Each structure stands twice: as C-alpha cells, then as structure tokens.
Structure 1
Amino acid sequence: MNQKASPNLDIPFIASHYDSNTVALQDDRDSVTYRELTKAVKYRTSEWQNIIDQDEQQRPVVILFFDNSITSVVDYLSALTLNYVIVLLNPSCSSDTRAAYFEQFNPNAVIENGKVLLSHNEHLFCDPRVSLLLSTSGSMGAGKCVALSHCNIKANCEAILSYLPILPSDNTLLTLPLSYSYGLSVLHTHLAIGATVCFTRHSVFDKGFWQIVKHQPINSLSGVPTFYEMLLRLRFTSMSLPDLRYLTQAGGKLATAYVTRLAQYTQKTGKAFYVMYGQTEATARMAYLSPDKVLVKPGAIGNAIAGGEFKLVNADSDNGEGELFYRGENVMLGYVSTIQDLVTFSETDWLATGDLATQDNDGDYTITGRTKRIIKIAGERVNLDLVEQAFINILAKYNLLSHACVVGFDDKVIGVYAGVISAKHLSEVIEHLSISLSLPKRNVAIDIVESLPLLNNGKVDYTSVIQTMTGAG
C-alpha cells in the first residue's frame, strides 16, 4: 500500500501569522483571508491525495493552468504543498499548445480551475530538486521550459523582499499573468509578507481598473514597459493617487524618456520607482536600481540582488561592453523540453543572460542590447535595441506615446509605430533617427500599424512583427 503524503505539510509562502489579513481580492468582489486560504489549501490537498497516487519515491508531474484568480492560487499552493512537479501554463493558450505540452511531459494529471483530471498513475522519474517548470517564450506556442527548484524560488523571494518596501498592510494590483515569472514573484513576495494581492481582468483603459486603484486603495503597481507606456498615454503622472507608494518595472527595457517621466513623478509625489532586471532562468529578478538613482541613470538596471553576482565576458576594450553573466541561488536547474529532461541536471555556475551590458564607475550595470539583436548595415554593426530606445525617445519628444519597436534587416532598420502620426512628424522622426544613428535615410524606415503583437507577458512579439514585414507566416 502506498504511503500517502501528509496533508499537514507546511504551505509554502503563506505568512500564517497574518491569519486575519486579506490575501486576495478579485475585481472588488470576492476576497479571502490568509486563514481561509490555508483552510482551502488543506482541504484541496486532502482531496487530491485520493485522486493522484503518491508515495515517498513518486512525485507526480502535473500541468497546472494558472489564472489570475483566487481559485488558481489555491490550486498552485496545493500542488506546491504536495511537492508535485508543476508545469505552469497560461489558461489562455491554444488547444494545440495544450496538446503539445501534454505530449512533451506526459503528466499524471491536469489541474485547472479547482479541478484535477487524472491521466495516469505511472511513476515518472524526476530530479528530486525540480519543483516548477516555466515557459521561456511567453508566447502562445509550446517551447522549452525553465526548471526551478524550491530553493531557487525561496532565495529569489527573500532577495526581492530585502529591497522592496512591501508591508503586511499593502494592497498591490496585479495585472501580470501568474504564469509569467514576474507576476509569480509578485504573488510570492506578497504572500510571504502577509500583504494583499488584488486581481483584475480590467485593462488600464477600463473605468473598473481606476475604481480599484482609487477605492481599494492600491499601494503598488508592477508592470512591463507596455504597461507603463499605456499609463503615460493616460496622463497617469497628473493623477492624484495618495495611497500609491511605489512602482516596479521589469520585463524589458523601458525607454529612458519614459523612465525619466516616471522618476520625476515619483520624486515629486514622494513615491518610489524601482527599475528591475530579470529573466525566467533566474526565477525572476537579478538586479534592481535604487530609486534614488533612477533620475540620474534612467537607462541602468543597477546591481545584483542580495546573494547574486554579475560579470562581463569578452568585454570590448573600447566601450567596456560585454555579455552579462549572473550567478546566485536563484539560477535555474536547467532547460527542459520533454519528460526525459527532468531526470537529471548538470550543475551551472554562471548563467549567460544573452544580454550585452556595460558597468559604470559606481558598479551599476546598463543593458545595451541582446547578442541576437545585432545586424550589419553597410558593414557597420547596428544594435537594434539601442536603435529602438532612440526611436521611442524621439517619438516621446513629439508626445507620441504609443507602442513602438524596431526590427532590422541587412540593409535597413524599420521602426514600427502603433498609432497615428502626421506626415510632417513622420518625416521629422525619420530625419532625427537617421541623424542619431549616423545612417543614410535610405537605410531607415517607419511602418505605421494599428497595433503591435504582444506575447502573453506583455512583451513585443518580434517574431510576429518580422513575419508581418516579410509576408511570412
């Protein structure tokens, strides 16, 4: 007879000494306290033990569709408590993507919206350290995943709490998907401190979003660059939000013009703006820039989080630019694409981020681009990420606050702008961009589109942009 796992295991991340605090709100309707959440998790773990066989040697592999809801949070914490190997997916992914992940990982069960569907009770061999699998693509398609241990997650949570001023009385409004490492880290840190997470399906353009921000009240917001670009379009910095204490930004580089605007706003209103840097391969965060430096260094990511360390590899002798490497307890076990990849992992000392960076005299780092976003035009090396920053900054000078990106081909850089622009401004933007890049105007173009394709995590889907440009796909 199999020995069942104890239903009284500690529930990860829950701050039990704040039992009466509200842990989650959903669009100002449903709410749950820490005491109620703990009770729900204990009930669900007991229920699942009667469905999925588990002994001391077997750790079931499950696919868990993680929605931004109280029910999904109970599902997630229950699976962690039972020490399942969790493949975390966005519930909005396509049926083809679901089928692909099911084929790749042959899960014992699928968990969604409080329900578990048993597939089989076959013993699947997994490295005892692996706890969580997160997709690296952020897209709707099935790709490779990052394997994280409980140690990775715990270390990163503690490091983030060492610099973010989260209080047990705080409410944060979470629009980031919980299947994305950034959104998941917001959940972990708030659970660990006894704070409240407010979920909403409203976008920043909905009246319901601002009703929650103003009436909850909300003490912090977290977002990727596109989130803050939308806030600035809505003249967010002119709003009176006395309860808002700080903002966090990660998930890509926000244009320096926008960072400066937000930094000026937070300084003027006594709030704080945290610019952060991270990758799923390092659980979530690797660096942050202290709020008192943001106005002085709007393009920087700061230095490594507590317990982490950076180095530059193959640094250029002229400008000091090199590939950024990181190490710390939050670095993944490795990449996985199939169930066979979960059996064992090779030790990784330094993580190659794939990002190019420089370091200043204060020790702070600035990301200058991606190693794969480099092209050559007329024999000259062109960093598309730097071009994109220049393009967005030029648009900002004309108060053209909308989504924009840059893609490139062997003979041309193309700025893609989602919005309305006059012929006069279009000509002037091309002229400014050509001058700033020291490129002939024949090598610079701007394409106007209705909207930019975005990945599930809010980042620009460059692959789709390029396919549209080339007529592929």
Structure 2
Amino acid sequence: MTVLPGLLPGTASVPFALGLAAHGDRTAIITADGTVSYAELAVRVDRTARRLGRERRLVLLVGTNTVDALVVHLAALAAGHPVLLVPGDHPEAVQSLIDAYDPDVVARREGEDMLLDERREVSAHDLHPDLALLLSTSGSTGSPKLVRLSHENLQTNAESIAQYLDIRDTDRAATTLPLHYCYGLSVVHSHLLRGAGLILTDLSVADTCFWELFKAARGTALAGVPYTFDLLDRVGFAAMELPHLRYVTQAGGRLAPDQVRRYAALGRAAGWKLFVMYGQTEATARMAYLPPHLAESRPEAAGIPIPGGSFRLRPLPDSADGPDCTHGTDDDTGELVYSGPNVMLGYARSPGDLALGRTVHELRTGDIARRSPDGLYEIVGRSSRFAKILGLRIDPGQVEAMLARHGVSALCTGDDEALRIAAVGGHDRDARRIARRVARDCSLPARAVHVRVLATLPRLPSGKPDYRAVRNLTRQAPDSTTDTTTRPAATPDGAPEPLHLLYARVLDRSDVTDDSSFVSLGGDSLSYVEMSIQLEERLGHLPAGWHTTPIRDLRPPEHADTSRRRTLETSVALRALAIFCIVGSHIQVFGIKGGAHILLAVAGYNFARFQLTSAERRVRVRRGWTSLARVALPSMAWIGLILLLNDDYTLANLFLLDSVMGPADLKTGMHFWFIEALVYILIAAVGLLGLPAADRAERRFPYALPLALAGLGLLTRYDLVGLPEREHIPDAVTVFWLFALGWAAAKAATVRQRLLVTLAALATVPGFFPGDPGREAIIVAGFVLLVWVPSLPSWERLNQLAGLLATSSLYIYLTHWQIFPLIDGFSRHLAFLASLLFGIAYAAGAARLMRGLSARRGARASADS
C-alpha cells in the first residue's frame, strides 16, 4: 500500500501514478506545444492531489487527450480518489452520468483551463477502499452501467502489457485513442509505468499534422482499433518513413485476417512488430495477445493469455445452427472465461454499488472461442450478439465476415424479428443486393433482413462499431429489406425544420443521422450552394468547416445575430458573379470577362473539398463519377434537344467532343468549351485518383500533389511540350493548371502554403490573354479572394439571389445561348434578365424531375421487395 504524503494513512493508491518522480528528468509528455518531464509531471500531480484533499471523494473527470486532464487523472489515482472517467466530446453523456452518480468533484476543461468544481468537501458516497476507477462499456451513451476497477487491476494490467510489449523507457507512444476508452487508457498507464514518453494528442491518424508531430517526437508506438487501420490504408501508411517505430498494437475488435497478415508483413519489412490483442473493459484492458512472429501464419487467432492471466472454455448449450451464418461446437469450443488479477471488481449501476467490494472472480467474456492444437485461442463468435429468428440461431459477426469476403464493409446486429445491417454503399440497389445475399446464405425470408446503405459506417468516438446506431437506423425502416422509400416528415406549422430533415431534403437522402455530415452524405459543389445558404439562414452564421462537421455539432451561436446581415461564402459568391459576368458579356450588356476561368479554379477548389475527403478510394471515385455525370448528362440532354430543333450544333457538340473533332468553321461550335474542359479535367482527376498509388500520394501529400499537377499543367499553358495548333487540342489541356491551383488552394493549411499558391497564380495568369490585362486582373482577383477570404459580408436577400445564380449556373450557361437571341434585338437588358430567369427555372424543373424519378425508383424497389 502506497500513501501520498499529506493524505490519511491507509488510503490505497496506484503505485505507478505515485512513483512518477522516480523517472527524473526523462520526457514524460510531448505535445505540439512542448514537452513535460517526469519530474515536472510529478510536481503537477502532487499539487493537484493535494487540492483534491485528504478525504476520499468521487471525482468525475471529463477525459480529453490533454496534459491537464491527464494530471487530474493521475492525481486522483495517486491520492486514492475514485475516478469516473467520461468522454470529453459528448456533453449529453457527461450530464447523464453526473445526474446518475452525483460526483463530489467534477473536473472538466473550459477554454484553456481545467476547472475543478468541488461540489462538496466530504463525499456523499460510501466508497469501497479498493475502488480506483469507473469506466463505461457503452461508449458515449451515458449509460449508468459502469465497470468498477481496483488499484490492483490498473497496476497489474499495466505491468502485464509492459512485459509482453517489452516497453522501454526510450519508447514514445502516441495517444491515438481517447483517454476515457480502456484501450487508450492502457497505452497511457503501461508507458508511464516504464518511464516511457507519451505523444499526447487528439489528432486523427488521417491528419497530416499528426504525422508531423509523431515524426518530430521520434514516435516508437502506435495503437489502433480496426477502423484506425482503415484510416492508415487511406493515408498511405505503408509508404511512410518512420525509422523509430518499434511496434504497432491492435485491439478494440476483430481485424480481418488478411489485414493482420498484410500489416505483419509490412512491419517485418520495415523493422517493427505487430501485436494483435484481445481485451474488454471488464478485464481493465487486455486479456490476450498474439505473439508477433505468429501474426502472418495465424492471423485469425486471438493468441495466448497475458502474463498472470488464464483462460478456460465453458461448455455451450445445445443450439440450432443455420448454414454459413453460425458455427458448430466441439470439445475445444466454448464460451471464453478469463481469470487474472486484472478482472474487475464488478459492475455499478447506481451510487449505492460504489460501496461494494469484489462481486466477480472470473470474467465470462460472452465470446465463443476454441483452443487450437498449437495452444492459441481463436474467437469464433459472440454469444451475447446471437439473434434467434424463426428458430435459427444466427451470429451477426459471421454475417459481417461473410459480407467482407464478398467485398462489403458492414455492421450487423439482430433481434427476434430481423437481422439489421448497415453497409457501405452508394445506391438503393446495393441494399437490395446485400439483403438478397444475406437472406439466401442464412436461410431467412427477405422480410427478416433490413439493410441501410451509408457513406460510412457508424462508429463510437473510440472507433469501435456503434451497434446501437445500427439498430436505430434499421428500425426506422418500413417492414422490408430496405428503407429507400423513407422521406422526411413534414414539420408542424411554425416549427423550424430539424437539420437532419433539411439535409435529407436538399441531398435527397433517406439515411441522414445526427452523425452525418454534408460530405459523408455525398454532397457536391452543386448541392453545396443550396445547403450553405439554407444552413446560414437557419443558424444565423455558417460555421467554418461545416461541410465536414456532424449535424449534431451544428448549433446557432449563443448570441445569434437577429438582423438580416449575413455572410456569403466566397466560392458561392464567385460562382454567382462569374455566371452573371459570362452571360452579360456574351450578350454585350457589359464587357467583364474572365468568369469562366475563375469557375475553373473554383471547380478545383470544390473538387478538393467534396471529393477528396478521408473516405476510402472507391467511395471517392464513385463520388467523382457522380459529380461528373451531374455536369455531363444535363449538358448532353440540352444540346441534344437543340440539335433536334436546328442545325446550330453537331454530333461532336452532343458528345462534348467539339474541341477534338468539331468542324473549325462552325461559329457556334465552341459555345460549350467550358463544359467540355471541365468534363475532361474531371475525368482525368477522378481517373488519376482511382489509381492506388496516386490515391496514397494524395493522402500523404494533399497540398504538394495538386501543386505538382499545376506545374505539369504549366507545360501546356506555356506550350513547352510542342503542342499542335491550339484549335486542334482540347481547351482542358491548356487550362488544367487553373483547376489544379484551385485544388491546391483548398488544401493550403498554412499562411506559407497560401502565399505560395497565390504567387503561383500571380506569376502565371498574366500573359495568358495577350492584350487583355483587364481580364487577367479579374481572374487573379477572384483567385486571391478564393485563397484568402473565406466569406464576404452580405445580406439575407443577397444571399438568396447569389444562391439561385450559383446553384443554377450550369443551366444558365447551357441555355443562355438559345434564349438571348430571341430577345436581344428588342432589348439586350431584357435578354440578359430572361437568360438568367430561364436558366434558374430550368434548374428548378430539372431538380424536381430528378427527385421524382428517385422517389419512383424507391417505390418500385419497395414493391419488388
């Protein structure tokens, strides 16, 4: 028993938290702002422990990956105060647990400060002497069911992990997981135990800044759940130079054997080890690990017990198993039961349970396992997740594995009525195909399989699957295999439309949840305008980065501006101004030229923002082709209609090939040069990023890649590659550099990067239109605004007008060539107005038609199912 000086004798604590000073001046914490030594950390922990007082109190800590939160956590463990660790990014869960457990002290970060709200000096609770830590097993839901962990649990599990990982005092581990999650917390504990360093950050591995910090800190260890490894694939981890990396650990769910084998081979080639681990919060963190030398030959195994622990297999009751979706039993198969000093004291469901001592002596994991002849344990199912439908006992985990073998990423849960599946997909037909396969393989009727297709699978903040969200999503569906006919319900008179219904209406999606974002729902540059205008009206402002922000986090400011003054995103303003100037110049109402070339830069800017998210490559490519179709198909439809009415155009125009095959003497031939150029550029960009190597390069060098592409584009802009005469080559070849510079502008994350891309435009636009410096000045001015000014002051009515013009810009451009000649002989100004109004009306009609067709397809799909 260790006692912190100044506290009452007899107070138990966690030894590694109390012994920080023994590691002296070694680096304990590395952040983007600097480092903290063990000696400095010990002083801060001691100071906070003394503030927490001599009497044991229940401390609720809002866990964030910050130095202040870590200090409070260690101080409470060192001084013997039980800690209730809660997620830092879900205020509703925090308040739920405060209401349920009435803590004596609430520690949370407000702004830059850690505040200790000491609600009472003496605890209102009877706290068992062994109680050290309370953790939730249900992610961010705020469930009152907690795991009670002792001082011994924390110390012994940290020692076991440090032993089999061979953690050294020279190691430096990144906090890639939340502090309130038992896996993330075990990384912290085991490394502090050995005097190793922590790279303390809340950045995602998908963030370039994370890797800059990791490399600068000479990081040696990474930890991840299965979703983390999906992100690593997307950012090109395999090609990274990480000379100090010693080991990578994985837990928090089953990693597919192919991924285990691939990462183990990658580690062997690069000089680091992969540790696949198995654990539960009820076992403090870890129960088993797979020795790294077996990862390539036995990737499906959970491994062997950690030092100090042991397993036994509890016989299973008889079961009626269904084909492919379940498993049989044999002498070496049963429910996995774990014993060891890291097994929890028991559960707490109310404050009264905090007085309890040990109520659990071994842990029934709920996992079905078998012990193979080589002594390794393999998890083959989950007893608590079984669904029994029409007498068939089905393991949703096996359904997920079966779908994965067919290339479908999915989460599956079930109840007595149906299997409920969320799968990555882009179309209603994906849901029907998945439902048919599952129904056939599991011998179920179609009505017992409910499938929702989503852009990304729902996950908890820890990255683990969110099965509660899967259940909620699929239960919203009608009694059929899919819910493609679901549409937003009308709101009561006078009540504002909920944001998720606004998103569903604008994007014509039926799978919107509070965790969705504009980009995750497949929003593109066309729908962005309408969404941004309506959201700005709803919130009174447009939050920075709103297009990638979950709906649940979009809230009006505390002091909303009740006037009609608004802001307008610069990209939207430029689109509206550009189409206004293009049409006005063509009709010769005025002569402001350069709008089309500004639109090319804006197109590159929006391509980077909406197509190049952290989604996996095939999702990116699918979104890219969809956006391309939304430009090409309406253009071809309109040109085809005009082709039937007169001979202004040719088949080359119809198929957007005029710049390649069109007759040089046709005056109307180049009416659609801009659309052709944009289509060709999008085909090239999407095709390039469809290549795995290019996709990895973009994720690793998101700014450098488009800048390099702009450099290649300048070869044709300055005709340095011996191009044929200009009329015989597509305009896309000579204007691509503008699109690439817009792409780079969207990825410019620092002042230096924005300066560089601005200087590139200032140096290369002049001379593109010899003898027309005014046009070049307009293009440069538009580009500078795009790079440096995210929004412009505006008014509500002006926003609505700009939104109409920007949203309808493609249709205005398409149709104005046929509208203004009908009127300009009478009045150019009237012809100008009529061209804009016709394009806006045509855009509204086209949108209504597309939504009607979508609804009919959904209705037919529902009837067929």
Q: What TM-score do you get using the length of structure 1 for normalisation?
A: 0.87
**Residue 263 to residue 378, structure 1, CA distance change in 2 (3 Å):** farther
How far apart are the structure 1 equivalents of 2:415 and 2:80? 47
Residue 85 in 1 paired to residue 89 in 2?
no
* 1:6-405 → structure 2 map (5 Å cutoff): 12=17, 14-26=19-31, 28-49=32-53, 54-55=54-55, 59-95=56-92, 97-113=93-109, 114-123=114-123, 124-315=125-316, 317-318=329-330, 320-376=332-388, 379-395=391-407, 404-405=410-411
Give the AA of the match of 1:418: V
How far apart are the structure 1 equivalents of 2:192 and 2:453? 43
Residues 371, 377 of structure 2: 8 Å contact kept: yes
Residue 417 in 1 paired to residue 413 in 2?
no
Aligned-partner SS, 1:363: coil
Of structures 1 and 2, the one with the larger relative CO (CA 8 A, separation 6+) is 1
Give the AA of the match of 1:301: A
Residues 391, 415 of structure 1: 8 Å contact kept: no
Residues 131, 148 of structure 1: 8 Å contact kept: yes
> How much does 1:345 deviate?
2.8
Give the AA of the match of 1:457: S
How far apart are the structure 2 equivalents of 1:122 and 1:203? 40
Residue 406 in 1 paired to residue 412 in 2?
yes
How far apart are the structure 2 equivalents of 1:205 and 1:409? 35
**Residue 44 to residue 411, structure 1, CA distance change in 2 (3 Å):** closer
1:255-302 per-residue CA deviation (whole Å, 9 max, x = no partner) reads 222212212211222221101011111100011010111111111111
> How much does 1:210 deviate?
2.0
Residues 61, 85 of structure 2: 8 Å contact kept: yes
Residues 178, 202 of structure 2: 8 Å contact kept: no
1:225-261 per-residue CA deviation (whole Å, 9 max, x = no partner) reads 1111221233322333222111100111112222122
Aligned-partner SS, 1:203: coil
Comparing 194-203 with 217-226, greater Cα deviation is found at 194-203
> How much does 1:417 deviate?
2.6
How far apart are the structure 2 equivalents of 1:358 and 1:339? 38
Comparing 231-240 with 216-225, greater Cα deviation is found at 231-240
Comparing 196-205 with 409-418, greater Cα deviation is found at 409-418
**Residue 93 to residue 60, structure 1, CA distance change in 2 (3 Å):** same
How far apart are the structure 2 equivalents of 1:172 and 1:393? 33
Residues 52, 76 of structure 2: 8 Å contact kept: no
> How much does 1:420 deviate?
5.0
Give the AA of the match of 2:41: L
How far apart are the structure 2 equivalents of 1:312 and 1:246? 30
1:80-126 per-residue CA deviation (whole Å, 9 max, x = no partner) reads 1221111111222224x333322322222112243311112344212
How far apart are the structure 1 equivalents of 2:257 and 2:249? 15
1:307-361 per-residue CA deviation (whole Å, 9 max, x = no partner) reads 1111111147537431111111101111012221111234422211111111101
**Residue 455 to residue 13, structure 1, CA distance change in 2 (3 Å):** farther
How far apart are the structure 1 equivalents of 2:18 and 2:222? 20
> How much does 1:127 deviate?
1.3
How far apart are the structure 2 equivalents of 1:99 and 1:147? 20
> How much does 1:415 deviate?
4.6
Match of 1:466 in 2: 471
Gaps of 5+ in 2: 317-327, 478-512, 514-865
Comparing 179-188 with 264-273, greater Cα deviation is found at 264-273
How far apart are the structure 1 equivalents of 2:403 and 2:329? 27
How far apart are the structure 1 equivalents of 2:217 and 2:358? 47
Residues 140, 456 of structure 1: 8 Å contact kept: no
Residues 289, 303 of structure 1: 8 Å contact kept: yes
> Kindly, what percent of the aligned residue pairs are identical?
35
Comparing 376-385 with 118-127, greater Cα deviation is found at 376-385
1:201-228 per-residue CA deviation (whole Å, 9 max, x = no partner) reads 3222221122123332221100111111
> How much does 1:14 deviate?
4.4
**Residue 42 to residue 318, structure 1, CA distance change in 2 (3 Å):** closer
**Residue 255 to residue 433, structure 1, CA distance change in 2 (3 Å):** farther
Residue 5 in 1 paired to residue 7 in 2?
yes
Comparing 11-20 with 142-151, greater Cα deviation is found at 11-20
Residues 343, 363 of structure 2: 8 Å contact kept: yes
How far apart are the structure 2 equivalents of 1:158 and 1:461? 30
Aligned-partner SS, 1:125: coil
How far apart are the structure 2 equivalents of 1:61 and 1:47? 14
Residues 422, 474 of structure 2: 8 Å contact kept: no
1:429-448 per-residue CA deviation (whole Å, 9 max, x = no partner) reads 7788778x465795777542
Aligned-partner SS, 1:311: strand
Residues 309, 339 of structure 2: 8 Å contact kept: yes
Q: Quick check: which one's helix share is greater?
A: 2
How far apart are the structure 1 equivalents of 2:122 and 2:52? 16
1:14-34 per-residue CA deviation (whole Å, 9 max, x = no partner) reads 4434322211122x2232111
Q: Quick check: which one's strand share is greater?
A: 1
Comparing 225-234 with 378-387, greater Cα deviation is found at 378-387
Aligned-partner SS, 2:120: coil
Residues 323, 355 of structure 1: 8 Å contact kept: yes
Residues 394, 432 of structure 1: 8 Å contact kept: no
Residue 456 in 1 paired to residue 461 in 2?
yes
1:401-434 per-residue CA deviation (whole Å, 9 max, x = no partner) reads xx632234667655533355897x9898778877
How far apart are the structure 2 equivalents of 1:426 and 1:343? 50
Residues 387, 395 of structure 2: 8 Å contact kept: yes
**Residue 187 to residue 18, structure 1, CA distance change in 2 (3 Å):** same
> How much does 1:380 deviate?
3.5
How far apart are the structure 2 equivalents of 1:362 and 1:137? 34
Gaps of 5+ in 1: none
How far apart are the structure 1 equivalents of 2:420 and 2:166? 40
Give the AA of the match of 1:44: T
Aligned-partner SS, 2:83: strand
Aligned-partner SS, 1:140: coil
Larger Rg: 2
How far apart are the structure 2 equivalents of 1:11 and 1:244? 25
How far apart are the structure 2 equivalents of 1:265 and 1:77? 36
How far apart are the structure 2 equivalents of 1:11 and 1:161? 12
> How much does 1:128 deviate?
1.0
Aligned-partner SS, 1:89: strand
